[in-house]
Each structure stands twice: as C-alpha cells, then as structure tokens.
Amino acid sequence: MGEQDVRAGEESAGTAAGLREAEETAQLQEPEGTAQLQEPEETAQTQETGEDGEQEPLSPARAKAAIEAILFAMGEAVELSRIAAAVGLEKREAGALVCELMDEYEARGSGIAIIELDGSYQMCTRKDYYGTLIRLVQQPRKISLTDIMIETLSIIAYKQPVTRTEIEKIRGVKSDHAVNRLLEYGLVQEVGRLEAPGRPVLFGTTEEFLRHFGLSSLRDLPPVDPQQKESFRESAQEEVNVRLPV
C-alpha cells in the first residue's frame, strides 16, 4: 500500500463520516423506522408424528390451517392434489377445506381471497384493494445504507467519475456488492467508460443522491472531518510504516 493510496483512503474515511452526518440531517423529518422481515424460527418437526415416526392424521382445524399456510407460503397457484398430499387427506376432503377457507375469507370481508384456477388454488389480494396497494408501491422506499456502502458512496461522490477498480484500490477490498446495491438504490449510475484497455465503466452520483442527502449540488458536499482524517492517518501510518505529511 503506497503513500498515494493511503491519502486516498484517508480522504474516503473522512468523507464517509461527512456523508453519514449529511444523511442523518436530511432524514430528520422522515418517518423513523423501517419494516424488517424476521425469519421464522426453525422447529424440530413440521408435522405431527406418532411414536413410530409415521405422520398422524391432522384434525380438520389443523389441516385447514396447514392448507392456509401452504397457499400463503407458495404465493402461486397450487394443484389440489399437491395440497391434499401435503396434509395427508383425500382430494375431496382437501377441496372441502379449501372451500371453507374461501367462505370464511368472504364472510369477514378479508383483504385476502383464495381463488380457483383450473383445479388449482391461489391466495391473493382481493381486487377491491388494488388501489391501496398501488399507492403503497408508489411511495419512495426507505434506503438503508451500511457503513460499507457509505464508504463506497463517499469515494464515488468525491472522486467521480471513478471506476470500480479505483474504488477497490482505495478501499483495499472488493466492492462489487456495495456498488451494485448503490446502483439498485439509484444513488449512483454509470456515467461513461474510461478510455483505457477494457474500457471500464465510470461511476458517478445521481439526482437521487442529492435528494437523499439534502444537497443542492455536489458543491454542497460536506468537507472532510478533520478528526476522522487524523484517526485514519494514524491507522495508515501503523499499516504502511511511513510518515505522512501533516
């Protein structure tokens, strides 16, 4: 790691802190909290079994609940024969339970409905609420940036246009995931190609980047935090064992 790379890394550490502070300031008036999906805890058994290890017949109530779980988890049309096999019932019995579920959803005016599609069944949103869902998906999604993504974004913001190789040279590690996520969030974009062998892609920030951080233009980017810069300078000196100019 050379002195030039250390200086570049030193700048990215300071500017990353500046971007994080700008992000927090820009989002002070936004609703706090984001929905987080939690993975269900694994259980030792997914179906009732007897002492001999054979699957015991489910009660009608549990069989109906199991069918509901199947339709919810699959998210697509499931053939009645597969449903019946999964819950250990005859097709006729399974079909009757599915019809009961359909009637129950209809009776309570649920936002969820079960529809039949040529001998298969699918759980879906009741069409009466399509407008509500459209309004939901049109809302701006909450962007959650990790420290790694902030550091990568700061390099792009202050060094743009910059190639992926240059970003990785400054950070010292592969940055494919971070760059790809920033592209997905619309915070960075491809702005051209470097006139060099292989013509690598050049990355720069977007208007969404300015909106997210509450900036009018790139001239409003926060200056490098002196404390962060000094902290990184000390770490870099230990790493490369060189004396950097103050």
- One-letter amino acid identity for 3? E
3-state secondary structure 57-81: CCCHHHHHHHHHHHHHHHCCCEEHH
pLDDT in tens, 184-223: 889 999 999 999 898 999 999 999 899 888 888 888 888 7
One fold for 3-27+141-240 and 60-135: yes
CATH 1.20.200.10 fits 3-27+141-240, yes or no: no
Q: Domain coordinates of the chain in residue numbers?
A: 3-27+141-240, 60-135
- One-letter amino acid identity for 84? A
* Percent of the chain predicted with pLDDT > 90: 38
Architecture of the domain spanning 60-135: Orthogonal Bundle (1.10)
* Percent of the chain predicted with pLDDT > 70: 68
* Alpha carbon distance 166, 82 (integer Å): 53
